[in-house]
Amino acid sequence: MPHRRISSLRAFAPFVGLGLLLGLAACGETGSKWEAQDMFAAPTEQKVDDRYRAMIDFKAMARDAAGKEYAAGPNATVIGAVEEAVAMCQQANAQGCKAVRVGLTWVDGLDQTSIESVISSYRDTMTAEAYQAAGQGNMGAANWLAYHYAVRGENLQEAERLSKQALQVAPDDPGALDTYGLILYRQGRYQEAEEVFIRVNKAMPTAEHIAHFADNALAMGKTEMARAAYQRALQAGAGPVLSQTIQKRLLALDLNGGAAAPAQ
């Protein structure tokens, strides 16, 4: 899928123990040598065509009351890039944070309904173009579309078909594998997903990949494993939106005495 996940941190709790860290050994080591997975890169040596690359290479922008701008993206979903930009503004403790640009469209001054219409238009256009590109054999497009559906929890059977199509071209690509693991997780096939996520993190333990492993572990009832993985994802450089999500997961675990509902 196009390099999804194409990033500063809030304070977070320390590791809960060496035993939990060892329990995550299968995920590999994290450190400065690991770079964030660029989900917009095609899982193939073939170059993504210029038309498709132009379609996905957008940014969203937020602005605070003082006029400072915060740009984010590209992202696997339009709303994801918007959320990232606004979160960057909020993380800077700025006041009056709001989205002012979605892709190439300036939305400053528009009401919420109009902004949502712009976002929907981008999403529909990208989905249509990705379908066309995937049908023409662009495995980057197939993987992007599969991930797009997976993160939204929609059209999961079609997402699985597209993901397997991409994996036929690049069976060992960490990004393509992570997409497939996320689809399995969304389908409730947690044991299968765990095996895929372990394989992904052995190859490329980025913050997002580790967080997916943690979500799946939580869904399996492995709460302490999930807790350690979430903390490790924070250390691996989770961006503002992912960092906030992880903090909520950890807080839920603390408030519920180590138990939490599956992280969907």
* pLDDT at residue 174 is higher than 60: yes
Tokens of 114: 């109009």
Q: Which CATH architecture has domain 1-48+139-264?
A: Alpha Horseshoe (1.25)
Mean pLDDT of 9-37: 30
pTM of the model: 0.69
Give me the pLDDT at residue 154, please. Answer: 92
* pLDDT at residue 204 is higher than 60: yes
**For the packed helices 240-255 and 207-219, what is the interaxial angle rounded to 10 degrees?**
30
Tell me how far apart the alpha carbons of residues 148 and 154 are, in angstroms, rounded to a whole number: 9
Q: How many CA atoms lie within 13 A of 40 on its CB side?
A: 18
Mean pLDDT of 152-160: 94
Mean pLDDT of 153-177: 92
218 and 231 in contact (C-beta within 8 Å)? no
Instruction: For Cα atoms 5, 32, 235, give the angle at the middle one, nearest 5 degrees.
Output: 70
Tell me how far apart the alpha carbons of residues 127 and 106 are, in angstroms, rounded to a whole number: 21
Tokens of 182: 């996320």
Mean pLDDT of the chain: 76
Tell me how far apart the alpha carbons of residues 258 and 222 are, in angstroms, rounded to a whole number: 10
Share of the chain above pLDDT 90, in %: 40
For residue 106, give the nearest of 118, 91, 90, 120 by alpha carbon: 118
The model's confidence at residue 76, banded by pLDDT at 50, 70 and 90, is low
* pLDDT at residue 137 is higher than 90: no
Sorted by where each begins, the domain ranges of the chain are: 1-48+139-264, 49-137
Instruction: Give 131's contacts (C-beta < 8 A, 6+ positions apart).
Output: 141, 145
Count other C-beta atoms under 10 Å from residue 222's C-beta. Answer: 17
Q: List, as one string, the DSSP characters of 157-198.
A: HHHHHHHHHHHHH-TT-HHHHHHHHHHHHHTT-HHHHHHHHH
The model's confidence at residue 10, banded by pLDDT at 50, 70 and 90, is very low
Give tens-digit pLDDT for 237-258: 888 888 989 999 999 988 876 5
Tell me how far apart the alpha carbons of residues 156 and 264 are, in angstroms, rounded to a whole number: 14
Q: List, as one string, the DSSP characters of 197-243.
A: HHHHHHH---HHHHHHHHHHHHHTT-HHHHHHHHHHHHHTT--HHHH
Share of the chain above pLDDT 70, in %: 73
The model's confidence at residue 51, banded by pLDDT at 50, 70 and 90, is very low
262 compared with 224, residue with greater pLDDT: 224
Tokens of 262: 């599956």
Judged on CB neighbours under 10 Å (0-12, 13-18, 19+), 23 is middle
The model's confidence at residue 167, banded by pLDDT at 50, 70 and 90, is very high
Give me the pLDDT at residue 102, please. Answer: 84
Mean pLDDT of 84-108: 88
* pLDDT at residue 30 is higher than 50: no
* pLDDT at residue 27 is higher than 50: no
* pLDDT at residue 203 is higher than 80: yes
179 and 76 in contact (C-beta within 8 Å)? no
The model's confidence at residue 264, banded by pLDDT at 50, 70 and 90, is low
Which of 2-16, 42-56, 171-185, 190-204 is least confident?
2-16
